[in-house]
Structure 1
Amino acid sequence: MNISSVQKLCQHFICSAIQRCRKSDDLCRISVMLKSNSSWDTSLVRISISDTGVGSFLEEFQDLKCTGDPASTEKWDGVISVTTTTICDNEIYHYRLDLKEIVSARRITKLPSNSKNGAKFSGTEVSLSAMESIDDLLAEITNFFRKILILKIPKVAVELVVDCGDIPGSQYENLILANECIHLPSPASSIDCLKSGLEDYVLKHENILNNICHSCFSSREHLKVGSGVTCSPENHRRNGQVMEAVIIISELSDPTTSSCFRARDAKTEVFYFKDFTLCSISQSSLDALTSIDWKSFGLTLRSIADQDGCALLEWGNLPPHAHIDIALHCYHKQVMIPAATHKTQRDRSFTKKAVKLALNDLKEKNKGVLLSSHALKICSYAPDLARTVAGLILSSNDLDFQGECFSMLGLQFQEIEGKVVENCIKERIISVIEMNDRKPRKGREDAPVLFDDDCFQEPDLLDEEYEEGEDAFSSLDL
């Protein structure tokens, strides 16, 4: 694995610490400390990343390589220190690694170990020193943490501490203390954690780690949330791949009342996690997002771009104070097995299905949300149709006919007013349109096209059927 900067190296070590904690059966803690070595040279920063997980193995560091980036060479000499022990070890082991050493046999130097004196514990600490701005490094790591915490990995607490030497008031500032899984059922499923984590991310305006803003959203009930999960079968050729998708639509009804409302744009950053680690989005998942028929959910995708491994979706028709957040998580139930053929095709299919399940779930739970462009156009005719039908009923001289109509509408004679009848009919029409729009397209009965110029088709329908057939075919043990 090539490391191009100290910031990327720190992210890699944090992800490794998370994996070690996940493998532990006990509560674990990850601590990241940034310390200026002296008050006269604040650019020299000591970086320490420690965890109380299962302990590391030297194989984790053998594939790490430093790129020939001159800027990275000037900031860091390539040397890291590793201290580690497992629960079964009687000693604490120390190593010195030089990642810039070309000869692999010389990269790792074993240093004298320390006895544990019969104590039972496990953990790893990785440390290095680099010429970095502590503020820039802190901002980068904080930004990384606020994204990785979306996963809300159970039984893992995270702490970020800064020590700026002799500068008054800046020693040991505790910036993060998580996990917040106390809000979730125990044991919480992975998708429940992902939903809760993305909700917290939105409620904290995406850039605050600890405080939820109650002036914009007083509770989670103000968020429209949908989730979807798709899985592959587990057998001797597969390892139970899971793809999870969570989509949140947030909209302020009165943005003028918020004292901290941040400017929203029409772009969505897609968070992509793989095996509980923040990663660059895969090309297959990017293709899946491109192939979704967003118009069938009333959305216009103006553009999609891959910026440094991050997928950015730009929408063309969002309300001015609305925002869409998306998180994807791909993981394996068992230890990974070498991939079978057509893996890229399956990944694309899995991503597409999970996202569409999340969109349908959000649509089902929230009335009037994500209606297709076709349904929205039909709804625009509902007021005129309701006014016409109400006029026909109210102008009739047949009291029995009027009574039957009012009974069907659930109205009493004393409630009869033009607007009351009209609004009731309009609500019934829109409700039927919304109900039909929520039904799977394949399960709908054929009906005449209401508008000749609206030949509504789903361009990716044949493509989706091909993917389903391909995935089923590839699962056969031939």
Structure 2
Amino acid sequence: MNVSSFQKLCIHLISSAFQRCRLSEDLCRLSVVLKSSPTTPMIQVSISDTGIGSCLEEFQDLKYTREGIGTEKWDGLLSVITTCISDNEIYHYHLNLRESVSARRLTRLPSNPKNGAKFSGTEVCLSISDTVDVLLAEINHFFQKMLILKIPNVAAELVIERGDVLGLQCENVFLTNECSSLHFSTSNVERLKSGLEEYVLKHGNSLNIKCDSCFCSREQLKIGTGVACSLESHRNSELLMEAVIVISEVSELTTPCFRSCSNKTEVLHFKDFSPCSVSQASLKALTTIDWRNYGLTLGSVVDQGDHALIEWESLPPYLHIDMALHCYHKQVMTLPGKYKTQPDRHLIKKAVKLALDDLKEKHTGFLLSAHAVKICSYAPDLASTIAGLILSSSDSDFQSECISLLGMQSHEIVREAIEDCIEKKIISVIETNDQKPEKCKGAALLFEDDCRQGPYFEEHEEGEDVFSSPD
């Protein structure tokens, strides 16, 4: 892995620690400690975990950019202490990332006996000449994203130890094991759903504080999930793409705290249980979805580095959309790197569409297509016409049968009540027809052409099967 800055190096090391914890079958603790002193400009960084133990290749493959990390700031030295559950010793190493000859990069130091104890873990230490606040902001942002994944067996803490004239001052930025409310058997997509929901409730601005001024309850959030998969036959590995979409809805903008840029959606990206940059496949997928089938008009999709930003046209000011995408191999049992996780745009597109369909199914009348909205606008006139035909008939039996079919009683024969009842039934059928085609087939279709314009009948490349996962 190429490292262009010291901050990115620290993030990579923390991510590796998360993965070692994730692959452990036990509850694990991950600690990141930043130590500073008023007598020296150096920051000491310690990243420790109680995961499965380190594979030294993950450190030896690290490469840094000389322009990104100057020699005056960092000497390129990593101190690594690691042991696996089956080891009898605790191993110590020095790794010099500035050494161009790979055989000289790793220096093994004297080890310590475990004396029969059974435990595993890794600690990586390094020092740099920099300010704590710059590094803290990067690490804080990374933890904020990692917590969305809700890895079930990891308790994480971020600690700052500042030395001054009064001695050592310790500050716990956060200590969390928010995953404890979820069962270990909870699926990854359900964890992602729960994590993104909490991220939205905190507005992405705080790790520990929920803002009640905008969202009094979770009922103001509408959430849809979608999972698409493809089997990579040459690896016998199943590639999964998960999509979660959260739509925040408030009755009116009563507080400036609610997102001022509600017409923009932050699309968070994760790969192999870690935040990642936006891929070209993702950008392409997001631009080729027919958002009009869900009542949305796409403005633009922009790569922001660690996330994509979608700008909508004509999105109601009381709505805000958040999205998260996560891709990983179902069979991965080792640290990331064994498989090249690169989903194509068809897989990403399918997962997002399934999440949108899930939202439409859960919330009747929500995310109606532009075509359905147009048809609904004709419902009042149509209802008025039908009601007029019923009431103008001189056949009392005909009138009674119509009133019965509408589910009304004879004493309710009032024009306004009949029109309202008919209008609701028309709109209900339109909303049903706007769902997936499978759900339209058994229904009484008022507008059959509309059914063929549902989300699964949008344009696709010749020969593509839109009902199966692409390879």
Q: Return the TM-score normalized by structure 1.
A: 0.88
Secondary structure of the residue aligned to 1:44 is strand
**Alpha-carbon deviation of 1:309?**
4.8
Determine the structure 1 residue equivalent to 2:133.
Answer: 135
Once the 2 structures are TM-superposed, how far is the Cα of residue 394 of structure 1 from its aligned partner? 4.0
Judging changes above 3 Å, is the alpha-carbon distance between structure 1 residues 391 and 446 closer, same or farther for their aligned structure 2 residues?
A: closer
Partner of 2:310: 313
Residue 93 of structure 1: how far off its partner (Å): 1.4
Aligned to 1:414: 411
Cα shift at 1:388: 3.1
Aligned to 1:284: 281
> Which runs of structure 2 are paired with 1:37-436 in the superposition (5 Å)?
38-41=37-40, 43-69=41-67, 72-166=70-164, 171-233=169-231, 237-256=235-254, 258=255, 260-335=257-332, 347-436=344-433
Deviations 1:319-342 (A, max 9, x none): 1021111111111122489879xx
Displacement of 1:132: 2.3
For residues 324-381 of structure 1, what are the alpha-carbon distances to aligned partners after superposition, in whole Å with 9 as ceiling and x for unaligned? 11111111122489879xx96x622211111111111111001111111111111122
CA distance in 1, matches of 2:369, 2:106: 59
Q: What is the rounded CA distance, in whole Å, between the counterparts of 1:230 and 1:61 in structure 2?
A: 33
Contact 1:238 1:337 in 2 (8 A): no
**Structure 2: how far apart are the matches of 1:350 and 1:263?**
32
Which stretch of the first structure deviates more once superposed, 264-273 or 22-31?
A: 264-273
Judged with a 3 Å threshold, the aligned counterparts in structure 2 of structure 1 residues 118 and 281 are, in CA distance, closer, same or farther, namely same
Gaps of 5+ in 1: none
- 3-state SS of paired residue (2:434): helix
| Alpha-carbon separation, structure 1, partners of 2:453 and 2:179 | 48
Contact 2:436–2:456 (Cα < 8 Å) also in 1: no
Q: Distance in 1 between matches of 2:178 and 2:205?
A: 17
Gaps (5+ residues) in structure 2? none
- Taking the aligned partners of 1:456 and 1:56, their CA distance within structure 2 comes to 50
Question: What is the identity percentage for the equivalent residue pairs of Structure 1 and Structure 2?
Answer: 59
Partner of 2:13: 13
**Take 2:382 and 2:401, find their aligned partners in 1: how far apart are those partners?**
19
2:431 matched to 1:439?
no
Deviations 1:12-63 (A, max 9, x none): 0111011111111100011111111x1244x532111111001102111111
TM-score, scaled to structure 2: 0.89
Check conservation: 2:33, 2:47, Cα contact below 8 A: yes
* Rounded Cα–Cα distance in structure 1 between residues aligned with 2:455 and 2:256: 45
Conservation of the 8 A alpha-carbon contact between 1:4 and 1:72: no
3-state SS of the aligned residue for 1:164? strand
Q: Tell me the amino acid that sits aligned with residue 435 of structure 2.
A: R
Q: Which amino acid aligns with 1:405?
A: C
On the 8 A contact 1:364/1:438 being kept in 2, the answer is yes
Say if 1:264 and 1:321, in contact at 8 Å, map to a contact too: no
CA contact (8 A) 1:242 1:333 kept: yes
Give 1:64 shift: 0.7
Alpha carbon RMSD of aligned pairs, Å? 3.0
Q: Check whether the contact 1:374–1:456 (CA below 8 A) recurs between aligned residues.
A: no
Structure 1 residues 167 and 443, CA gap change in structure 2 (3 angstroms)? farther
Are the aligned partners of 1:239 and 1:337 in contact in 2 as well (CA < 8 Å)? no
Distance 1:433 1:126 in 2: 60
1:178-232 deviation line (CA, Å, top 9, x unaligned): 2322333441111111111111111111212123333422333321111111223
Distance 1:213 1:170, change over 3 A: farther
